[in-house]
A and B are shown apart, each in its own frame.
Chain A
Amino acid sequence: MAVRVGVVTFPGSLDDRDALRAIEFAGGVGVPLWHADPDLQGVDAVILPGGFSYGDYLRCGAIARYAPVMASVVAGAKDGLPVLGICNGFQVLCESHLLPGALIRNDHRRFVCRDQALRMLNTTSRWTSAYRPDQVITIPIKNGEGGYVADAATLDKLERDGRIVARYVHGNPNGSYRDIAGVTNKAGNVVGLMPHPEHAVESLTGPGTDGLGFFLSLIGVRDEVDA
Chain B
Amino acid sequence: MIDTVPRAEATPEQPQPFAELGLQPDEYDRVREILQRRPTSSELAIYSVMWSEHCSYKSSKVHLRQFGEKAPRTDALLVGMGENAGVVDVGGGWAVTFKIESHNHPSYVEPYQGAATGVGGIVRDILTMGARPIAVLDSLRFGAANAPDTARVLPGVVAGVGGYGNCLGLPNIGGEVVFDDSYLGNPLVNALCVGLLRADEIKLAKADGPGNHVVLFGARTGGDGIGGASVLASATFEAAGATKRPSVQVGDPFAEKVLIECCLEIFAEDLVVGIQDLGAAGLSCATTELAAAGTGGMDVDLDLVPLRDPTLAPEEILMSESQERMMAVVAPDRLERFLAICGKWDVTATVIGTVTDTGRLRMRWHGEQIVDLPPRTAAHEGPVYERPIERPIDQDAINVEHRLPRPRNSTELRTTLLRLVAAPNLADRSWVTDQYDRYVMGNTVLAQPEDAGMIRITDDAGQQRGIALATDGNGRYSRLDPYHGAQLALAEAYRNVATTGARPLAVTNCLNFGSPEDPAVMWQFAQATRGLADGCQQLGVPVTGGNVSFYNQTGSSPILPTPVIGVLGVIDDVTRRTGSAFRTDGSTIHLLGDTADELGGSEWAHVIHGFLGGRPPRVDLDRERLLADVLIEAGRAGLIDAAHDLADGGLAQALVESCLRGNVGAQIRLPSELDPFVALFSESAGRAIVSVPRGRQEEFAQLCANRGLPQTRIGTIDVLATDLDLHGLFSVGFAELRRAWTGTLPALFG
Contact = CB atoms under 8 A, between A and B. Distances in A.
Interface of A: 11-12, 14-15, 17-18, 21, 50-52, 54-57, 108, 110-114, 140, 142, 144, 196, 198-199, 204-206
Contact of A113 (B434, B442, B443): B434
Contacts of A52: 166-167, 253-254, 257
> Counting chain A CB atoms within 10 Å of each CB, which of B166, B436, B438, B750 scores highest?
B166
B167 A17 contact: no
B253 A111 contact: no
Interface string B617-636: 00000000000000000000
B159 A111 contact: yes
Nearest to A54: B254
B463 interface: no
B456 interface: yes
Given A11-B254, A14-B169, A111-B159, A205 B435 contact: no
Given A11-B345, A204-B574, A199 B434 contact: no
Centre residue among B163, B254, B258, B750 by max chain A CB count within 10 A: B254
A17 B445 CA distance: 17
Interface string B480-498: 0000000000000000000
A18 B435 contact: no
20 contacts: A12-B258, A14-B167, A15-B169, A17-B441, A18-B442, A55-B167, A108-B750, A110-B434, A111-B435, A113-B436, A114-B434, A140-B439, A196-B439, A199-B439, A204-B464, A204-B574, A205-B442, A205-B444, A205-B456, A206-B439
Nearest to B261: A11
Nearest to B163: A111
A12 B166 contact: no
B517 interface: no
A11 B258 contact: yes
A70 to B, nearest CB: 17
Given A204-B574, A205-B445, A14 B440 contact: yes
Interchain residue pairs A-B with the least CB separation, the first 10: A55-B254, A14-B169, A18-B442, A199-B439, A111-B435, A52-B167, A142-B437, A140-B439, A113-B437, A111-B162
Contacts of B443: 205
B402 to A, nearest CB: 41
A212 to B, nearest CB: 13
A175 to B, nearest CB: 14
Contact of A110 (B159, B440, B445, B456): B159
Interface in B450-496: 456, 464
A204 B575 contact: yes
Interface of B: 159, 162-163, 166-169, 252-255, 257-258, 261, 345-346, 430, 434-445, 456, 464, 574-575, 750
B434 A204 contact: no
B574 to A, nearest CB: 7
Contacts of A112: 434-435
A142 B163 contact: no
A17 B253 contact: no
B252 A55 contact: yes
Nearest to B439: A199
A54 B346 CA distance: 11
A55 B346 CA distance: 13
Nearest to B431: A110
Contacts of A113: 166, 434-439
Contacts of B436: 111, 113
B111 to A, nearest CB: 14
Contacts of B168: 14
Pick the most buried of B163, B169, B258, B439: most chain A CB atoms within 10 A of its CB. Answer: B439
A18 B441 contact: yes
Contacts of A57: 254
Contacts of A205: 439, 442-445, 456
Contact of B253 (A55, A110, A142, A204): A55
